[in-house]
Structures are given as C-alpha cells and as structure tokens.
A = this chain, B = another copy of it.
Amino acid sequence: MQTVSENNCFGGVQGVYNHTSTACACDMTFGLFMPVEAKDGPVPVLWFLSGLTCTHENAMTKAGAQLWAAEHGIALVFPDTSPRGDDVANDEAYDLGQSAGFYIDATQSPWATHFQMQSYVLHELSELLFENFPLDEQRQSICGHSMGGHGALTLAMKTPGRFASMSAFSPICNPVQSDWGRKQFTAYLGADESEWVKHDATHLMAGSGFNGPVLVDTGTQDQFYDLLKPEGLATAMVARKQNGTFRLQPGYDHSYFFISTFMEDHVAFHADALYGVTA
C-alpha cells in the first residue's frame, strides 16, 4: 500500500492510498478520513460508496462529510467505483464498465476478470483497512449515493450483522426494473434475471430486509428520479415494517449540493447506531 497524499482536515487526516488489488486484478485507490480520536485507539468506520462517473475523490472533496465525522469521532472510507486501467474492460457508455462497477461480482466475460467490486469492498479493501489503520471492525456502517446508494443498501442487506446501519442519498432502488440496472446486470451477470434480484435493494428489502436502522433521502427534483425507482423500496419498507425513514426532500436534485445539505443528518444517524452497538 502506498500513500498518495495526506492532508490535515478537521483535526484529523484525509488520506489517499493506492494498492494492488487481487480481487480486481489492478491497482486501486481509496480515500480514508481518520478523526483525531484514532490516535487513542480504534474508531468506528462509515463506508461511503459513490455513484456513476465518480472515483474515490468526488465524495471526499465535495460531500462535506469530514466535518461531521470529526464531530462524532468516526472514520470515513471512500472506495473507488470500479476497477480501472488500460487492460480493464470498458464501454463507451458512462454507465457501464469503468466508473460503473455497481458493487457486484461480475460472472460474465469480459467483465469477470476485473469487475469484482462486491468482494473488493466487503473483503479485500476491508481487510487492508483493518490491518493497517486503527479502525474498529465491530463498528461499521455504510452509506452511498446513486449507484453507491444501491451498493450501500445491497451490501448491507447481503451481510446481516456486519453493518450497524445503512443509508443512501438518491439510491438506485430497483435496478432490475431500471435502465440503470438491466443493461449492467445483463453484461456483468448474464441474462438470467433470477441472478439479478440478489443485487436489488427492493427485492432484498422485500425479503429479509435489514436488521438495523435505515435512512434514505431522495430529492423531489432529482433529474434521474425515473431511473432510481424509489417507489418499490419505499413500499417494501412499509410492507415489512422496516426500522427506517424514507425522506423526499422538496426541490433537491441529484447533485453533491443535495448530499452536502443532508450529510449532517446521515453521519449523526450512523453515529447513533455505531455508538449504540457498544453502549
């Protein structure tokens, strides 16, 4: 693992690191904010998964999350959104291939060689982080935006007991019903739709749901509202009486101006869950 940069930030350190990933068979870069409390021992960690076209950098520089993470003594991890490199499969579309990993493990050629983002986030990057930084493996929560909101919700529901809480900004809620999902799942997973539903937040919520609190924010002026398909997830949450909150924010869109506006709420929501775990 190599240090790309480290900058003091809200009393802690915002770092960027590079390492060679076995899961993705390429070099991967991630951001990590460590609050000052990490000097005294392991701190809770909030994963933040970003959306289409993003790298590790977008949320790290534009979401304003470090302020609130510092206030609550929580670390933030910003993984990349896909494998990258000249020898990594790609597509001309912005929503397939590099920058569009969808946080799943591809089974189909040519994607399977590198596109193993579920394994990368849940296992490889995770192990790297807990080995190298004072992070408390018993206190993890997860958040994300858009494709990363899909990632946060699905990875949390796939791993019961791992994450204390899950939240999302404008998540892709029902990819098997959306053009943000059907094309990618066909490419990465093949034509068998019974494989797709394992990676769909609405289906997972309608199934076993999530054993912890859930917070979802979506803007009423989101320019991608029709692609996000929030109605299915909201319905599934209500149907199973999920411990959770689904908020529609009047006038807000899909941008980081929306995310930064409500980041305080999301970090405080996760802090309640993270500190409750050991309280």
Contact = CB atoms under 8 A, between A and B. Distances in A.
Contacts of A257: 7-9, 14, 66
A221 B7 CA distance: 9
Contacts of A255: 7
A115 interface: no
A41 interface: no
Contact of A8 (B7, B10, B66, B261): B261
A186 interface: no
A64 B68 CA distance: 12
A10 B261 CA distance: 5
24 contacts: A7-B252, A7-B253, A7-B257, A7-B258, A8-B219, A8-B249, A8-B252, A8-B253, A8-B257, A8-B258, A8-B261, A9-B257, A9-B260, A9-B261, A10-B260, A10-B261, A61-B61, A61-B62, A64-B64, A64-B67, A64-B260, A66-B257, A67-B67, A67-B260
Nearest to A221: B8
Interface of A: 7-11, 14, 61-62, 64, 66-67, 219, 221, 249, 251-253, 255-258, 260-261
Majority SS of interface residues in chain A? mixed
Contacts of A10: 260-261
Interface centre among A64, A219, A249 (most CB of B within 10 A): A64
Given A7-B252, A66-B257, 18 more contacts: A7-B253, A7-B257, A7-B258, A8-B219, A8-B221, A8-B251, A8-B258, A8-B261, A9-B257, A9-B258, A9-B260, A9-B261, A10-B261, A14-B257, A64-B64, A64-B260, A66-B260, A67-B67
Contacts of A14: 257
A256 B8 CA distance: 10
Contacts of A7: 252-253, 255, 257-258
A138 to B, nearest CB: 29
A27 B14 CA distance: 36
A260 B62 CA distance: 10
Nearest to A262: B10
Contacts of A62: 61-62
6 closest A-B pairs by beta carbon, nearest first, are A9-B257, A7-B257, A8-B251, A64-B64, A8-B252, A10-B261
A67 B63 CA distance: 11
A153 to B, nearest CB: 24
Contacts of A261: 8-11
A221 B9 CA distance: 12
Contacts of A64: 64, 67, 260
